[in-house]
Amino acid sequence: MTPQRAVLLLRISYRRAIEDADPQVEEAKVKYKELSKGIGRQEEDARALADRLGWKVIGVIPEDDTSAFKRRRIKLPDGSTALRTVRPGFREALEGLADGTYDGLIADDLDRVARDPRDLEDLIDVVESGRPRIPVTSVTGSLRLDDDAGVTMARVMVAVANKSSRDTARRVTRKHEELAAEGKPPGGGYRGYGFTAAGHEPIKAETDIIREITARILGDWDGWTDEQLEKVDPEVGESLNSIAADLRRRKVPTVTGAAWSDRSVRSIASKPSVAGLREYRGEIVGKAVWDPIVPEERWEQVRARLTARHRSVDLTLQRWLTGVLRCSRCSHMLHGWSGNNGKRYWCPPSLGGCGKTAVKAVFAEDEVERQILELLGQPKVLQQLRTVADTEVTDEARAELAEDEQQLKLMAGMFARREITFPEFQEGRRIIERRIKESRALLTSRAPRVLRRLLAGDDVAAGWSELSPVDRREVVLSLVPGYDVLPHDRSKGNKFDPGRLVPFEA
């Protein structure tokens, strides 16, 4: 039977190819532009094959910059965790084939469909569930599942492709370990502020800014005006926000072209590379082969001062349901508020709200606390939460998120310098932002540390009473996405109605 509702599954992975390129930014840019055309070519070839076969295509599922090999730790429906490839597009295609939305699949090649044996087996299960088998094919002819011989050959080829990916991953990891041990800069990637991409040579204009930032944090910069100097306590130093604002005013460029912020100032001043130290996976492994921009002892003083500032910040919330309660009228989040009507959660117009929804703080907090403790008091729920709380997200997932965020900044800089067009920037940003969203979802889906601490004790209620307001909010958001606050029904008088708090879905 000739498929009349076929789907095209297109996939390409940019990151590894770009990492394997020469570390020059220009080389990586050319590589990115070339690879970005790959999806379009795959679709053209797949549609041409469909025309030759007489298939009618009704859907196209692109997997832009998606790895079919790299796995992440995810939570399964039964509450357990396992390593799986994260491919929403592939899963969408399988579901469509299984429920009849699609009756055939075309890809460019077998390795575009699967490089993980488990993914291939899922596809085989769907194909063989149809009577007759659901047709699948590829432009290169490497994907054929219409008989047992084709299935066996596909299994062999995916196993070989998986071995190849593992070998590549192992070589790349070993290469980075060797470079770190020798104190050499990592190959490829993005240029760090203060150094060239090729050779890791210092850039004088940027090293001057790094030394300036260091001096301003330590309170001994000689560039302040008399008026500025009066506002700076040498024992505390200048604030990161103030430094960032001054750099923006002076139009000092960043590597990516993005505006300076307190985070970028902190990041640059605290990086081990500026002190001539080599870092690998968050740990300093020794001296680097390049000269320090800032003496190590002075860099240590900067780190100590930034750490002290961070610890001195009061993160305690007065109203811990801020960010948890949402206005059912306009969908803006309610904020803790104090006024003539006492302490309450309100949808203030000054912050974009409608001003029509409010609830007494003490009543809302008591009700949410009651619900949370009731939930944590159920043995089955408690056991499931403890299982999830014991599962840590791997360092690799966090590293991928950091890499994607850095790549997004690099692309913004390339667009600002007119090295790529706006459509190219938009397309790249869409792809990267989707990956960032998926990575953050994986990270935030795990139970936070405060919940792990809470569940570690024998008496959850007693542990709850000792939590700070900010920790209480973190626990609530790890268990419930939030609550819609319904309008007050005046026919019931002024008594608080718990039914006004309705949990909403993520």
Helices 240-249 and 262-270 pack at an angle, to 10 degrees, of 100
CATH class name, domain 204-312: alpha beta
Same fold, 6-181 and 204-312: no
Show the tokens assigned to 286. 């020794």
At 360 the three-state DSSP class reads: strand
pLDDT at res. 29: 46
Placement of tokens 């008989």 in the chain: 147
Whole-number Cα distances in Å, 45 to 142, 236, 449? 14, 63, 49
Within the chain, which residues score under 50 in pLDDT?
Answer: 16-35, 311-316, 389-394, 444-447
pTM strictly above 0.75:
no
Query: How much helix, strand and coil, in percent to the nearest 5, is found in the chain?
Result: 50, 10, 35
**How many Cα atoms within 13 Å fall on the side-chain side of residue 379?**
0
pLDDT at res. 90: 92
For 451-462, write each residue's pLDDT tens digit: 666 766 678 888
- Measured between alpha carbons, how far is 452 from 457 in angstroms, rounded to an integer? 9
Question: Is CATH 3.40.50.1390 what the domain over 6-181 is classified as, yes or no?
Answer: yes
- Measured between alpha carbons, how far is 322 from 168 in angstroms, rounded to an integer? 47
Show the tokens assigned to 239. 């604030």
Residues 6+ apart with CB under 8 A from 235: 219
Torsion sign over Cα 362, 363, 368, 370: positive
Helix (H) or strand (E) holding 465: helix 460-465
| Sequence spans of domains, the chain | 6-181, 204-312, 325-392+446-503
At 5 the three-state DSSP class reads: coil
- Measured between alpha carbons, how far is 325 from 321 in angstroms, rounded to an integer? 6
- Measured between alpha carbons, how far is 373 from 375 in angstroms, rounded to an integer? 5
Q: Are 296 and 455 in contact (CB under 8 A)?
A: no
pLDDT at res. 312: 46
Bond from prior residue into 379 cis (ω within 30 degrees of 0): no
User: Which neighbouring-strand residues pair with 73?
Assistant: 83
pLDDT at res. 121: 93
Altogether, the residues listed in the chain come to a count of 506
pLDDT at res. 382: 63
Amino acid found at 471: D
Torsion angle of C-alpha atoms 225, 231, 237, 239, degrees rounded to 10: -100
